[in-house]
Amino acid sequence: MKTVEKISVKEKFSYGLGDTASNLFFMTFVYFLSYFYTDVFGISAAAAGTMFALTRLWDGINDPLMGLIADRTETRWGKFRPYLLWMAFPLGIIGVLTFTSPNLNATGKIVYAYVTYALMMMIYTAINIPYSSLMGVVSSSSKVRTVFSQYRFVLAFVGGLIVQGTMLPLVGYFGGGDTSAIDASITPTHQLIITEQGKGTAKLEISIQREDGKSDKKEQTIWVNTPEILAEGDTNVGILYLESGFGQKEFELNKLFPDVDWNNVICKINVINEKKGFQLTMAVFSSLAIVLFLITFYNTKERVHPPIKQRTSLKNDIGDLLKNRPWVILFFVGIFTLTYTCLRNGSIMYYFKYYIENKNLATIFMLTGTFATMVSIVGIGWISNRFGKKKTYIGCMLLTSLLTTVYFFVPSNQIVLIFILQIAVNLAFGPTCVLVFAMYTDAADYSEWKTGRRATGLVMSASTMSQKFGMVIGGASIGWLLAAFGFVANVQQTPETINGIRIIFSWIPAISSLIGAILMFFYILDEKTMEKIESDLKSRRKEDYNSLSH
């Protein structure tokens, strides 16, 4: 009977914490970066889309370069672990800078966004490629690596929970009461008075306490000293933008928010500097990520090494990679999987702010999905053992496509149905990430089995390289599609734009997940094949060790 390598829960848990750290950044980018650039920092959706395309395209190209570098790294800590130590602090620093909003003109903002985001993703590559590769060398057993992948993704979604559940509240907390851009007050006759204080952006949060004890909140975003963005909007719709040098302006609340009965209510107003809020929140996330990466570094071990007689060759490594059919299939599957993730999750803020007209529900919506995903991951080991990784992935992606399409037909007032669908979608989609990353480690074994050479870092670079290309397509498409549908930040959208947001949230990501399912039909590494590969490699390594000993 085949024995399975015993590795402590502590090491598996510590390895998973590395993806908690990674997702404090990655999920922030997926859920909030597009919104931050368009609605807080103040660049156009089209400009943000183009920036995502160009920076992520280069970032995807440098992934295999990092894999090659990691494969050739030799230290007393191993090939991959040292990068968790070396890159943790640079990643934290550039993460804060990416969400810092200096007061620049329109061109300056775009240049700053390009530079900081490009640096952010390059450093993310420098730590995440080695981290992903580490899973390929913690054990020679495919089943043990699948368990590591389960730990990884359960804890990855813990990082997602932290981002989804605390980002907006922390932005409000850190930015609350900051009147450096504007000050605001409400008169007893429900007049809103806004006074210009300095450059920047701010959000007004008006808390309304009714006689029946019920409470409500209304929000509006205000820009000051930024005439190159937009001029003052129609006050009958809402406070949109205030042009430079407005001094002080007065608005009637019953015109700004006609849906509210302003008689017999108590109002409180809070000025929130979202720029400051996002910056300080990212400082908290970055500090936590540094600690978690260090825990992963100290508590993990590299056990699988290249064949003793292997001679490293760049030409051979790349040639082996391109001939590795499972790797090629997984590369394209990963692209469409991440395209789905970026399109759907990146459009959540727009979907709730402009279609549902309740941005505060977005946080609960994200959390609901993540909890459902974590539940689905717990049972993935039993399901994949019963049906195999390939069949399980195909079934999950087909169901994901179907359920995501249904969103287009759901009216904006059907909140319960929207949340039920969110649970169903994430129960279906959740296992796919675990399966794909476990398959990448199988592809590394397959390459060694076929060629006699092992390049784990290069093979695993497919995981993040396909992520980056998926982010190129998904992230850029959101900006471009929003622009094509006539989107302008912080205004009441046209029916055509609302319909476009619904399409971006449903039909387009559903097509992406469907393509991923179709591609997986061509994947050749089933469970029986992997058992033979593991057995053959184990025998070879034993023979190499014995020949070296003699």
Run of H or E residues at 252 = strand 248-252
Closest CA to 241 of 216, 217, 221: 221
User: What is the edge-to-edge ordering of all strands in the sheet holding 191-196?
Assistant: 182-186, 191-196, 248-252
- Rounded Cα distance between 119 and 111, Å, is 12
Nearest C-alpha neighbor of 449 from the set 540, 526, 523, 527: 540
Q: Pick from 210, 75, 204: which is nearest to 130 by CA?
A: 75
Instruction: Look up residue 545 and give its two tokens.
Output: 């060790």
DSSP three-state, residue 32: helix
Retrieve residue 540's tokens: 């070879």
Secondary structure class of 454 (helix, strand, coil): coil
550, with CB counted inside 10 A (0-12, 13-18, 19+), is exposed
309 CB burial (10 A radius; 0-12, 13-18, 19+): exposed
CB contact set of 134 (below 8 Å; sequence gap of 6+):
15, 18, 80, 81, 300, 302
Instruction: Print pLDDT tens along the chain (550 aa).
Output: 445 567 899 999 999 999 999 999 988 988 889 889 987 888 888 888 888 878 877 776 777 788 888 888 888 899 999 999 999 999 999 999 999 988 888 889 999 999 999 999 899 989 988 998 898 888 877 778 778 878 887 898 899 889 988 998 899 899 988 888 888 888 888 888 888 887 767 777 777 777 666 666 666 556 554 433 333 333 333 344 555 567 788 878 777 777 777 777 777 788 888 889 999 999 999 999 999 999 999 999 998 776 655 556 666 777 777 788 888 898 899 889 888 988 898 899 889 988 988 877 888 998 899 889 888 877 776 777 778 888 889 999 999 999 999 999 999 999 999 999 999 999 999 888 778 877 877 887 888 888 777 667 777 676 667 777 777 787 778 888 998 998 887 677 889 999 999 999 999 999 999 999 999 999 988 788 888 888 888 887 677 656 655 5
pTM: 0.70
**Residue 97: how many other CB atoms lie within 10 Å:** 17
Tokens read off for 438: 């476990």
CB 435 within 8 A of CB 384: yes
Domains assigned to the chain: 9-174+276-304+313-540 (1.20.1250.20), 182-272 (no CATH)
DSSP string, 94-158: HHHHHT------HHHHHHHHHHHHHHHHHHHHHHHHHHHHHTTTS-S-HHHHHHHHHHHHHHHHH
